[in-house]
Structures are given as structure tokens and as C-alpha cells.
Amino acid sequence: MKPLSEITDYKEAAEILASEFDSLGWHKTNVVGGHLLTDAEGWKHFAWEIIFCPPSKAPVSLAYKCGVGHVYPLYKNEKTQHRHPFAGKPKPPAPAEVLACYCRDWIDSDCAFDEWADTFGYDTDSRKALSIYEQCREAGPKLRALGLSRAQIERFAGLSALL
């Protein structure tokens, strides 16, 4: 296993992540969704569910969302020459990268809320910040339900940081 400090670029990190994810031997992973949604705060985003099915474990579903800025416009409006904001749909997320992001969120939130808020520049009086922190903390039980060890979670989190 190559140390994180020796990984030189994004492509190498992505290849190692994909390889290490494949080595888990999970028999099935499904990516469903990709629908354009708008949440209660008006954020337009695409949403997927990634369903991981490790052997001898119950399936675990992880949500993934990305904003519309991730859409590569497929055409220009001929009258205004501006790109149409929702002309395409982003490619589905790679399950290995989603899993690694969840690992990173959980590792980064493995501390008191005040410390987490200070690290990420949030106000400790913010309810929204507390909600984000709690969502990151909720990743832990899901990762453990997948049978991942603390070492595997830390490794995937480290690879996520290099992507």
C-alpha cells in the first residue's frame, strides 16, 4: 500500500482509490437517481443514492448531491450566446469517491463541534453549521455498517483529500 505522502497527483490518487475500493470485494454497488431537485433553501442540485452491498452485510445507501455548476452546458442559446444553465446532466458519481468523501467527512468531524467549526470557519452559534456537523457525524455508523475498519476509513479519507 503506497503511503499517502508519496502519491503525486489527482490521477494517481483516483487510480489507487478505485483499486483499493475494488479490493473490498463488494459484490454489488448501484448508483441511482441523478434527478434535478431544489431544496427548501432554494439550492438547485442533482441527487443520487449510491447503494453499497458488501458480502454478509445489509446494503447501505449513501446520498450524493452536486450543484448545477457541475453541469457542462451542451449548447448555447443562439440569441444571447450565453450558455444554458441546465443543458446537461453531470455524470454519475464514482461509488469509490462517494465512499471516500463520507470517510473524510466523518474523520474531519471526529472532534467536538467547537473544534470542527473553528477548523472549517463556521460560527459556533450557527444552527446550519451544527446541522452540517451532525450530518458528517452520521456517516460513522453507516461506514461501520459497511464493515469498514478505522484504518480503512482513514485511508479512504486520506485518498479523498488528494482528489
Has this prediction a pTM greater than 0.85? yes
Tell me phi and psi for residue 36, to 5 degrees. -80, 125
d(C-alpha 93, C-alpha 11), whole Å: 16
pLDDT tens for each residue of 21-49 = 999 999 788 999 988 899 998 998 999 99
d(C-alpha 143, C-alpha 138), whole Å: 9
Dihedral sign for Cα 108, 113, 117, 118, please.
negative
pLDDT tens for each residue of 84-124 = 555 567 888 999 999 999 999 999 999 999 999 999 999 99
